[in-house]
Structure 1
Amino acid sequence: MKNELRIFFTALMFYTRIPCPSNTDHSPDYINKATRYFPFIGWIVGGISFIVFALCSFLFEVEIAVVFSLIAGILCTGAFHEDGFADVFDGFGGGWTKIKILEIMKDSRIGAYGGIAIGFLLILKILVLIKLLAKIASNDYLTIFLIFVSYHALARLTAINIVFNSEYAREDETSKAKPIAKGHTSVEIVGAYTFGLIPLVILGFINPLLLMVILPLFLLYAYANRYFKKWLGGYTGDCLGATEQFGEIVVLLTYLVLWKYI
C-alpha cells in the first residue's frame, strides 16, 4: 500500500502542479509505473474543473463559469499538455525531417503555428462546453461532473495508449518524458484502462448512447500513432500532450453530437 501511494504521488507530481509529499521524486522506475494513474489524474483535474465551474455558476453566467473551469484545469497541470500541443504544431508546421521536427519541438519558445493552434483550441473548448452544458439541466450536477471527469480521463487514456503501443522517438536522454518509455507491465495497462473507462461506464448507465465516444477516440489514437511513427519513428512527450488535447476536444464534440439524440 505504501509503495502504491508513492507511485500515485509520483504521477501527481509528474503530471500536475499539485503539492505532493516532500519524499516524492522523479525516479524513472516510479514514473514508468505511474502511467497506471495517468487517467486517474484526469479524475482529479476534471473534478477540480467541475468544482470551479459549479461555484462560478452561482455567481456568473455559464460562459464565464466555463472559462474559469478551463483556467483551473490549466493551472492544475501547469499547461503541461497544452505546451506539448503547441510544440507539435510548431514542430510539424516548421520541420520537414525527423531531426528538424524534434529540434523545433525541443525549443521552449512558442512559434506562430503553436500560438495559433492553442488559440483555436481554447476557443473551440469554450464554445463546445457552453453548448454541451446548455443541453444538461443546470441542477444535474452528477451528469455535469461525469462530463468533466470523463473527458479528461478518456483523453489521457488515448494518449497513454500510444506509449503502450509505440517506441520513444528521441535517441538522447534530454526529454522529461524519457522515463515513461522503458516498458510497461500488465498492471500499468489494466490500471490505465480501468481509471480511463470508469467515468464513461457510469455515464453509460445514464444513457448508453454516450458509450459511442470510444469510436472517434480509437480513430484518433490509430491516426496519431501511425502519423507519429511515420514522421518520427515513435512518440515524444509533446506528441502525447498533443494527443491528450485532441482527445479532450474529440470527447466534447462527440458528446455534443450525441446529446442531440438523448
Structure 2
Amino acid sequence: MNRETDQTPDSEAKSGADKTWDQVRGRLKDLPDFAADTAACVRFFSRLPVPKINALDDPGAAPDFARIARAAPLAGFVIALPAAGCGMLLGYTHLPGLAVAAIVAALLAIITGALHEDGLSDVADGFFGGATHEKRLEIMKDSRIGAFGALALVLSAVLRVALLTALWQRFGPADAALLFLSGEALSRTLLVWQWHLLPLARPQGLAARFGKPEEKTVHQAALVTIPLLIPATLLLSLTAFSLACLFAAGATYATGRLARAKIGGVTGDVLGAMQQLGGLGFLLGVLMVP
C-alpha cells in the first residue's frame, strides 16, 4: 500500500482540526483590520472623539466604504451606546418616561451631529418639492429647510419619542436600552444593503466619493449584525421580532424604491433617511404586538 495515501481516521481528524484552527487564526488576524474599520465608521457617522486604535487605523484617511461598511452595524451600536446608557440610568429615576425618551433621542442626535436627520429633511424637501430629477437633486443640496423637510423632522421626532417612551415603559430601562441598540445596529446594516443594490444618483456625490459597499461587504455586515440582535431574539416574542425586522427592512426598501423613482438612485441624504426610517420601523414592529 502506498504510504503517502495511507491515511488513518486519526490523521483525517487531525487534518480537519488543523483546517479549523487555520480558519480561527485567520479570523483572529482580521480583528485588527475590523477594529480599524469600526473606528473609521464611528468617526464618519458621529462626532465621538475616537483616537487611533492600532497601526492599521488612520484617522486622517478618507473612509473606503467598499470595505469598512462591514463594520457599520457595530459602529451604529457604539454610537448609540451613550444614549442607551443614559436612558437606562435615567429610567431608574423618577423622571417621566416621556422625558427619558426625549433625552435619549436628543442625545443620539447630538452624537451623530443630526447627520441622518439632516438627510431625512433634505429627502423630504427634494422628493416632494421638485418636479424633475434635476430639480429634486438641486433642492436636496440646498442647506435651507423647506416645509416638507420641517414636517418630516417633526413627525419623525414625535414618533421616535413616543415609541421610545413606550419601549422604556413596557420592557424596563435595561431591556429597553438593549432593544434600542439592536435597532440602531440593524438600521445601519439595511443602509449598507440598499447602498450596494441601488445606483448612485450623483456620480460625484457623498455616496460615491467614499466607495460603494461590495456584495462581500454586505454579507459581512449581516454576519456582524447577528450577535447584536441576540438581545432582541431573547426579549421579544417570535412575532414581535419578525415584525421588527420586517418593518425595518420594509421601510428601508421602500425608501430605496422611492429614491430610484424620484432621483434615479441613492445619495448620502437618502442613506441618512434610510437609517432614520429603518430605526423607526424596528421600534414599530417591536411594540405592535405584546
Q: Which residue of 1 aligns with 2:287?
A: 256
- Residues 152-207 of structure 1, C-alpha deviation per residue, up to 9 Å, x if partnerless? 11222222211121111113x2x333234445151x21231123343333321333
1:156 has 2:188 as partner: yes
Deviation readout 1:73-119 (Å, 9 max, x if unpaired): 11111111000000000101211111111111111221121112101
Task: Please state whether the residue corresponding to 1:21 is helix, strand or coil.
Answer: coil
The residue that corresponds to 1:240 in the other structure is 271
Higher relative CO (Cα under 8 Å, sequence separation at least 6) belongs to 1
Q: Which residue of 1 aligns with 2:201?
A: 169
Structure 1 CA distance, aligned partners of 2:213 and 2:90?
42
Q: Is residue 5 from structure 1 mapped to residue 35 from structure 2 by the alignment?
A: yes
Q: Are residues 1:129 and 2:160 paired? A: no
State the Cα distance separating 1:5 from its structure 2 match: 3.1
* Pair 1:147–1:2, CA change in 2 (3 A): closer
Mapped to 1, the partners of 2:122 and 2:143 lie a distance apart of 8
Report the residue type matching 1:21 in the other structure. Answer: P
Task: State the aligned residue count.
Answer: 252
Does 2:62 correspond to 1:33?
Answer: no
Name the residue aligned to 1:204.
233
Q: CA–CA distance in 2 between the matches of 1:197 and 1:148?
A: 15
Correspondence 1:226 to 2:265 = no
Contact 1:47 1:148 survives alignment (8 Å) = no
- Greater mean deviation of Cα atoms: 223-232 or 64-73: 223-232
- Among 51, 68, 73, the alignment partner of 2:85 is 51
Change (3 A) 1:180 1:152: same
The residue aligned with 2:98 is 63
Residue 126 of structure 1, CA deviation? 0.8
Q: 1:226 to 1:185 in 2, by over 3 A?
A: closer
Q: Is the 8 A contact 2:38 2:75 kept in 1?
A: no
Query: In the TM superposition, what whole-angstrom CA distance separates every residue of 1:197-254 from its partner, at most 9, and x where no partner exists?
Result: 4333332133333321222233223322222112222100111111111111111111
- Among candidates 3, 7, 16, match of residue 46 of structure 2: 16
Identical aligned pairs, as a percentage? 27
CA distance in 1, matches of 2:280, 2:125: 19
Q: Runs of 4+ in structure 1 displaced over 4 angstroms? A: none
TM-score in terms of structure 1 length = 0.88
**Alpha carbons of structure 1 residues 12 and 45: separation in structure 2 relative to 1, 3 Å:** closer
Q: Does 1:93 align with 2:128?
A: yes
| Alpha-carbon contact 1:168-1:234 (below 8 Å) kept | yes
Instruction: Give the AA of the match of 1:116.
Output: L
Q: Distance in 2 between the 1:253 and 1:39 partners? A: 20
Match of residue 22 from structure 2 = none
Q: Which amino acid aligns with 2:180?
A: F
Letter in 2 for 1:195: V
The alignment status of 1:77 with 2:108, answered yes or no, reads no
Name the amino acid aligned to 1:157. T
Cα deviation, 1:51-77, whole Å, max 9, x if unaligned, reads 111222325222211111111111111
C-alpha contact (below 8 Å) 1:159/1:221 kept by paired residues: yes
Instruction: Map 1:181-200; keep pairs closer than 5 Å.
Output: 181-186=211-216, 188-200=217-229
Contact 2:189 / 2:225 at 8 angstroms: preserved in 1?
yes
AA aligned to 2:81 is G
CA RMSD of aligned residues (A): 2.0
When the two structures are superposed, what TM-score results if normalisation uses the length of structure 2?
Answer: 0.80
Opposite residue 43 of structure 1, the aligned amino acid is F
Match of 2:153 in 1: 118
What secondary structure, in the 3-state scheme, does the structure 2 residue paired with 1:25 have? coil
Deviation at 1:144, TM superposition (A): 1.7
